[in-house]
Homo-oligomer: A and B are copies of this chain.
Amino acid sequence: MARPTVNDIAEEAGVSLATVDRVLNGRPGVREKTVSRVQAAIEKLGYVRDVTAANLARQRRYRLVFVLPDVPAQFVDTLHEAIAESVSTSVVDRTDVRIVSFPNDNPHALVKSLRALSAADTDGVAIFAQETPHVRDAIARLKADGVPIVALVSDLPNTGRDHFVGIDNVAAGRTAGFLMGKFIGNTGGSVMVLVSSLQARDNVERRLGFDQVMAESFPAIEVLPSIENHDDEETTTRLVTEMLRKRPDITGIYSVGHGSQALVEVLRGHERRHAITLIAHELTRVTREALRDHLMDAVISQNVGHIVRSALRVLRAKSDGRDIVSSQERIRIEIVVRENLV
């Protein structure tokens, strides 16, 4: 009745523990014939390995690194918090996590940070960055060194990263578009779109999805050209104020980027604030308050806790050469409104 152990298999197959272990872990140095005898025993007894005991014996530590941009966007802060929490929680048993920050406007600094890493002291790296030729090279070097890499939040498809942890940003943009259209309804009008940067892949993908849905399903609403704010507060304030003045027919604003602080501030003092549907990304202190204060109508969000845990799981698996259960690693596009704000 009790679960069979390696001892039972060893006995059943007439070999020693060590041999069973070799077969179990696919290590070389066992005759074909012995292998199949052991496997028969495994099959027969319905053996399933006790992972916790294995981990205990193995004393393996995973040394993982998060590489994050140092931008003044609250979303990155929430990522930091999620990492800190994962570290404290027992979830991350046997893994040492460290964080490397790089100034967002300085691609050279990022490259330098990546160069400092190597297989000697790192079992895996999760990177949130934009894809530039230099970054591509640095990642290629790490990969060549045998370090597993996952892209975080914004994909790096041409770097040979092992995996992408984040949402489908085209679908996220479509979701924003769907809600924008439904919320504005037959009022019509025009929608202002604010992006961090047109170099940021996630931003571009979201904008694409948004435009698709608006064109398909809500042709009566005019979508204005993107305004680029480069995550700068003063720029945002100036451009948004100006645009609101120029276009009194604006009935919606879509904030595509990772920060919405300045935008919310402008709107907070604006007389037309209740006539404008505001949809943004990422659940942060700023967007939470804006939802609560009836300034914002919906937030499209990715759960940073899930992202961090998924990145850790994937890196550990890759580091062991194990397969991942991809259905388990899918990050959902969450919709948050005032009423389901935890």
Contact = CB atoms under 8 A, between A and B. Distances in A.
Nearest to A93: B52
A340 B179 CA distance: 11
A108 interface: no
Interface in A22-53: 50-53
A340 B56 contact: no
A186 interface: yes
A172 interface: yes
A339 B182 CA distance: 13
Interface in A207-232: 209, 213
Interface string A281-311: 0000000000000000100100000000000
A47 to B, nearest CB: 14
Given A185-B185, A335-B340, A337-B175, A53 B51 contact: no
Q: Among the interface residues A52, A213, A328, A340, which one has the most CB atoms of the partner chain B within 10 A? A: A340
A197 to B, nearest CB: 24
Contacts of A93: 50-52
Interface residues of A, number: 39
A254 to B, nearest CB: 14
A172 to B, nearest CB: 7
Contact of A185 (B94, B174, B186): B186
A233 interface: no
Contacts of A209: 339
Contacts of A97: none
A258 B273 CA distance: 38
Contacts of A185: 185-187
Interface in A319-342: 325, 328, 330, 332-340, 342
Contacts of A300: 340
Contacts of A186: 185
Interface string A169-189: 001101101110011011100
Given A51-B90, A334-B334, A213 B339 contact: yes
Given A182-B183, A182-B297, A183-B182, A340 B52 contact: no
Contacts of A178: 337-339
A106 interface: no
23 contacts: A50-B56, A50-B93, A51-B90, A51-B93, A52-B53, A52-B56, A52-B93, A52-B94, A171-B340, A174-B339, A174-B340, A178-B337, A178-B339, A182-B182, A185-B186, A300-B340, A332-B334, A332-B340, A333-B339, A334-B334, A334-B335, A335-B335, A335-B340
Q: List the 6 closest A-B pairs by CB distance, nearest first.
A: A185-B185, A333-B340, A335-B335, A52-B52, A174-B339, A175-B339
Interface of A: 50-53, 55-56, 89-90, 93-94, 171-172, 174-175, 177-179, 182-183, 185-187, 209, 213, 297, 300, 325, 328, 330, 332-340, 342
Given A52-B53, A175-B337, A332-B340, 14 more contacts: A51-B90, A52-B52, A52-B94, A56-B56, A174-B339, A174-B340, A175-B339, A175-B340, A178-B337, A182-B297, A185-B187, A332-B342, A334-B334, A334-B335
